[in-house]
Chain A
């Protein structure tokens, strides 16, 4: 019924082969004896023929992948609909790009980083079904009643047509998607968000004293950057260089961002640098705006600490958005707790 396409051994001592390219697209009819793939060994590029008639289904290796000899790189199905419907049953392993590495630990398909293979399966779906989601009337009705979008199943690589039995998968995908939509960027990581408030009056008093006694007009961002760096060091035992990127919202527009490198180890009066170093933490200063929190589309590249101002009550409103790749939950709570404490009592923390 199903024929597996493997990486062939083209030489006596060959252990791996590089898949140069597929000569067929998933969903294409395949005739036995017809060239199916191009494989490069240490000697030459060679065409390899299909060993069965049918339709090319899921492929698990992409052009350029180095694949161990004997590994399954695709499947040929007897009929086209089977080629399409088998997609969901395949967990497409991430191709190893630099020789035989251990296979990546399996992750649920919906949270795995995008690879070329799932995109190939999506293109198959579109090609076969002209973009329309194929689903039974009943599953359409039930999905609509629950406010679920069948498109999510398509994106997750489930094969069509969909039936009531696919609702379970759809519900869990929808739940995950809803959780991720708070922080849509960099799919795959899981997101956390912390909020805090602290007294803003002490920092205002301190800045007035600097101004009146030392003739130093220090913008609040200077303090924010310094305390953020201190919070990272104290909470995470960090000794490496810390780069705090300050993004100040002035009215309704962000000013040019400024970078503070190790602001906790330099003088308060040190000017921000011009460098383009990658930020350890993004600090969003919203104190001169009406906003109390921001999470912009697609710009999540580091933990983001926001500072907003509640003028009436004399409070700072703090938020920390972070992902699993930045901070653990415990570390994030420690960072924001330290930061809130420092802003509430700045003099003590300037030591």
Chain B
């Protein structure tokens, strides 16, 4: 099978859906001629023109509001938010309008909108361009949240998102845009709420989102060298969350670590760990542990920035302690 970059996979997904459905359009900063700073959308404006690849001024609340209105009135906008950190600027349009319109209109209106943005640290972009803020939107009922972990997921989830009749936020890890993965030529969609068991194991379950799936897989390799069999699971969408697959795995292995690049405090890791505790309690032989990013503004210093995110070595070290039955905290 051919291998393409995550960036190309997103580009293909949007182009295919735009060819299929004339109501789909892209709106955002530097999306047309520039093809976004990460060049994800390069070539689209040449094919679809500036009516459907719409460059906007630097005014996130404005174009987000336009998109919500367009979605309510029959279009399928894809909003390009240059950095995930700019989510704070569109919170009212996204959370108060897009997320609630279907409910508050008694189902008369729907908002088939995709907000694609990014996340991920260690790109030396400092504290305002390095955040992973998916927990903020996952908290709001009415929003779906997809977190592709490779080019294959990026394409399949994007196409599903564009066809979804409710608002979806997709977070792409900006450090993975050039990562290649096998992606079929023929069309495919990845349904939401269906986790992917990347690697089977018996001793511990490593649940990773986005780029943390790679971290979990590398940790599993390290653990295999120590005779510990780790299962790696990618939930692919955190809203909806495929609890059944996660619970089945944890009931099998009796132990789990949830790994995510958002800040650990009040984050995705805590939410998933809590659900496992509630629903698999009597199958747990060790506490379900969280590994998120350090609860600090992401440092600009490369040496410090690298310390803030989970690494395969740290995941493997924690997993080995859990499997050994070590007491992590005083009783």
Chain A residues engaging chain B, CB cutoff 8 angstroms: 80-81, 85, 128-129, 132, 134, 136-141, 160-161, 163-165
Contacts of A134 in B (CB 8 A): 327, 331
Task: For the complex, give the distance between the alpha carbons of A123 and B205 in Å.
Answer: 36
Question: Are A85 and B286 in contact (CB-based, < 8 A)?
Answer: no
Question: Assuming A81-B326, A136-B286, A139-B285, is B254 touching A164 (CB within 8 A)?
Answer: yes
Contacts of A132 in B (CB 8 A): 331
Contacts of A163 in B (CB 8 A): 285-286, 325
Task: For the complex, give the distance between the alpha carbons of A134 and B326 in Å.
Answer: 12
Question: Assuming A161-B325, A163-B325, A165-B325, is B285 touching A81 (CB within 8 A)?
Answer: no
Contacts of B129 in A (CB 8 A): none
Question: Which partner residue on chain B sits nearest A130 by CB separation?
Answer: B331
Chain A binding surface SS class: helix
Question: Which partner residue on chain B sits nearest A142 by CB separation?
Answer: B282
Task: For the complex, give the distance between the alpha carbons of A63 and B105 in Å.
Answer: 81
Question: Which partner residue on chain B sits nearest A136 by CB separation?
Answer: B285
Contacts of A164 in B (CB 8 A): 254, 285
Task: For the complex, give the distance between the alpha carbons of A85 and B325 in Å.
Answer: 10
Contacts of B330 in A (CB 8 A): 80-81
Question: Are B327 and A85 in contact (CB-based, < 8 A)?
Answer: yes
Q: B277-288, CB under 8 A of A: which get 1 and which 0?
A: 000011111100
Task: For the complex, give the distance between the alpha carbons of A89 and B326 in Å.
Answer: 14
A79 to B: closest C-beta gap in Å: 9
Number of chain B interface residues as a range: 10 to 19
Contacts of A165 in B (CB 8 A): 325
Task: For the complex, give the distance between the alpha carbons of A163 and B253 in Å.
Answer: 13
Closest 4 CB pairs of A and B: A141-B282, A163-B325, A136-B285, A138-B285
Question: Which partner residue on chain B sits nearest A165 by CB separation?
Answer: B325
Task: For the complex, give the distance between the alpha carbons of A132 and B327 in Å.
Answer: 15
Question: Which of B282, B284, B325, B326: most chain A Cβ within 10 A?
Answer: B325
Which residues of B, 266-285, contact A by the 8 Å Cβ criterion? 281-285
Question: Are B282 and A160 in contact (CB-based, < 8 A)?
Answer: no
Q: Could you list some 14 contacts between A and B, CB below 8 A?
A: A80-B330, A81-B326, A85-B327, A129-B331, A134-B331, A137-B281, A137-B282, A137-B283, A137-B284, A141-B282, A141-B283, A161-B325, A161-B327, A163-B285
A131 to B: closest C-beta gap in Å: 11
Contacts of B282 in A (CB 8 A): 137-138, 140-141
Chain B binding surface SS class: loop
Contacts of B326 in A (CB 8 A): 81, 85
Contacts of A160 in B (CB 8 A): 327, 331
Contacts of B283 in A (CB 8 A): 137-138, 141
Contacts of B284 in A (CB 8 A): 136-138
Task: For the complex, give the distance between the alpha carbons of A5 and B205 in Å.
Answer: 40
Question: Which of A138, A139, A165: most chain B Cβ within 10 A?
Answer: A138
Question: Which partner residue on chain B sits nearest A84 by CB separation?
Answer: B327
Which residues of B, 113-151, contact A by the 8 Å Cβ criterion? none
Task: For the complex, give the distance between the alpha carbons of A141 and B326 in Å.
Answer: 20
Question: Are B254 and A138 in contact (CB-based, < 8 A)?
Answer: yes
Chain B residues engaging chain A, CB cutoff 8 angstroms: 254, 281-286, 325-327, 330-331
A91 to B: closest C-beta gap in Å: 20
B227 to A: closest C-beta gap in Å: 14
Contacts of B254 in A (CB 8 A): 136, 138, 164
Task: For the complex, give the distance between the alpha carbons of A141 and B280 in Å.
Answer: 12
Task: For the complex, give the distance between the alpha carbons of A164 and B324 in Å.
Answer: 11
Contacts of A128 in B (CB 8 A): 331
Contacts of B331 in A (CB 8 A): 128-129, 132, 134, 160-161
User: In the complex, given contacts A128-B331, A164-B254, what are 6 additional A-B residue pairs having Cβ atoms less than 8 angstroms apart?
Assistant: A81-B330, A134-B327, A136-B254, A137-B283, A138-B254, A138-B285
Task: For the complex, give the distance between the alpha carbons of A284 and B325 in Å.
Answer: 52
Task: For the complex, give the distance between the alpha carbons of A163 and B323 in Å.
Answer: 10
B29 to A: closest C-beta gap in Å: 50
Task: For the complex, give the distance between the alpha carbons of A134 and B325 in Å.
Answer: 12
Task: For the complex, give the distance between the alpha carbons of A139 and B330 in Å.
Answer: 19
Contacts of A140 in B (CB 8 A): 282
B273 to A: closest C-beta gap in Å: 14
B255 to A: closest C-beta gap in Å: 9
Question: Which partner residue on chain B sits nearest A140 by CB separation?
Answer: B282
A260 to B: closest C-beta gap in Å: 58
Question: Which partner residue on chain B sits nearest A141 by CB separation?
Answer: B282
Question: Which partner residue on chain A sits nearest B325 by CB separation?
Answer: A163
Task: For the complex, give the distance between the alpha carbons of A139 and B284 in Å.
Answer: 8
Task: For the complex, give the distance between the alpha carbons of A164 and B330 in Å.
Answer: 20
Task: For the complex, give the distance between the alpha carbons of A267 and B282 in Å.
Answer: 71
Task: For the complex, give the distance between the alpha carbons of A302 and B112 in Å.
Answer: 88
Contacts of A85 in B (CB 8 A): 326-327
Task: For the complex, give the distance between the alpha carbons of A137 and B284 in Å.
Answer: 6
Task: For the complex, give the distance between the alpha carbons of A129 and B331 in Å.
Answer: 6
B280 to A: closest C-beta gap in Å: 9
Question: Which of B254, B283, B285, B326: most chain A Cβ within 10 A?
Answer: B285
A92 to B: closest C-beta gap in Å: 21
A37 to B: closest C-beta gap in Å: 26
Question: Which partner residue on chain B sits nearest A134 by CB separation?
Answer: B331
Task: For the complex, give the distance between the alpha carbons of A81 and B330 in Å.
Answer: 7
Question: Are B327 and A81 in contact (CB-based, < 8 A)?
Answer: yes
Task: For the complex, give the distance between the alpha carbons of A81 and B283 in Å.
Answer: 24
B247 to A: closest C-beta gap in Å: 14
Task: For the complex, give the distance between the alpha carbons of A139 and B282 in Å.
Answer: 8
A51 to B: closest C-beta gap in Å: 25
